[in-house]
């Protein structure tokens, strides 16, 4: 007996590079929880941030930064996946390799996605850190901020959001502070 997967069609929404959602991307002076939340990736994209450009066969077929297989043509530049909302079965795309949705300085993680070291709960935040990615080598230095059950990694410079497609190791004083696993490659807003 052959098994068929139940895939429901979802929407593909193009987010313009000029969207106001990218205005809070600067990291200078990030001192409050509100500013960190506004600047953090993943962004909370919605249908109203862009315009509908097509349909897809299921979010599970896509990863951040993916260019091929989106199935929408006729654009001046290729489309790249910049966000995935599994709950709404919505794929968010941006036009061109230089789209602001493909890079970020601030990343937010729920602590339940992290495997902390012994010194995690006794640390005083913010902490200076070096982040090692299984996807991208040579990441800039970062600062760690912990606010409630969220951890924010604030890089000195923008880094590709595709680092979230793999695992991250966070080191403080050359000692492993935590490992963050994101092997499912999907991020709900």
Instruction: Look at residue 93 in the predicted model and tell me its pLDDT.
Output: 96
**Nearest residue to 157 (alpha-carbon basis) of 133, 143, 141, 145:** 141
8 A C-beta contact, residue 80 and residue 94: yes
- What tokens were used for 115? 């495997």
User: Over its length of 189 residues, how does the chain's per-residue pLDDT go in tens digits?
Assistant: 555 555 678 999 999 999 988 876 455 554 678 888 888 888 889 999 999 999 998 888 899 999 998 989 889 999 999 999 988 999 999 999 999 999 999 998 888 777 877 767 777 888 899 999 988 888 999 999 988 888 899 999 999 999 988 889 999 888 888 888 864 444 444
8 A C-beta contact, residue 50 and residue 15: yes
Instruction: Look at residue 103 in the predicted model and tell me its pLDDT.
Output: 93
Between CA 145 and CA 127 the distance in angstroms is 7
Instruction: Look at residue 178 in the predicted model and tell me its pLDDT.
Output: 87
Rg (CA), the chain: 17
Between CA 169 and CA 173 the distance in angstroms is 13
Instruction: Look at residue 117 in the predicted model and tell me its pLDDT.
Output: 76
- What tokens were used for 144? 């760690």
8 A C-beta contact, residue 159 and residue 103: yes
**Nearest residue to 90 (alpha-carbon basis) of 99, 81, 80:** 81
Between CA 25 and CA 105 the distance in angstroms is 7
Between CA 101 and CA 21 the distance in angstroms is 9
CA atoms within 13 A on the CB side of 121: 2
- What tokens were used for 171? 């080191």
pTM above 0.75, yes or no: yes
Q: In 3-state terms, what secondary structure has residue 104?
A: strand
Instruction: Look at residue 31 in the predicted model and tell me its pLDDT.
Output: 60
Instruction: Look at residue 23 in the predicted model and tell me its pLDDT.
Output: 77
């Amino acid at each position: 007996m052959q098994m068929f997967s139940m895939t429901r069609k979802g929407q593909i929404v193009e987010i313009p590079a000029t969207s106001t959602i990218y205005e809070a991307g600067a990291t200078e002076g990030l001192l409050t929880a509100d500013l960190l939340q506004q600047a953090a990736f993943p962004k909370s994209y919605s249908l109203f941030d862009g315009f509908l450009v097509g349909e897809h066969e299921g979010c599970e077929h896509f990863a951040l930064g993916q260019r091929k297989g989106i199935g929408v043509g006729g654009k001046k530049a290729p489309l790249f996946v910049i966000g995935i909302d599994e709950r709404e079965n919505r794929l968010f795309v941006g036009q061109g390799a230089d789209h602001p949705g493909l890079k970020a300085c601030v990343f937010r993680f729920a602590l339940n996605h992290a495997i902390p070291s012994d010194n995690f709960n006794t640390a005083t935040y913010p902490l200076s850190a070096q982040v090692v990615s299984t996807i991208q080598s040579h990441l800039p230095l970062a600062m760690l901020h912990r606010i409630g059950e969220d951890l924010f990694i604030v890089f000195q410079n923008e880094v590709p959001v595709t680092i979230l497609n793999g695992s991250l190791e966070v080191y403080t004083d050359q000692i492993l502070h935590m490992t963050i696993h994101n092997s499912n490659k999907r991020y709900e807003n």
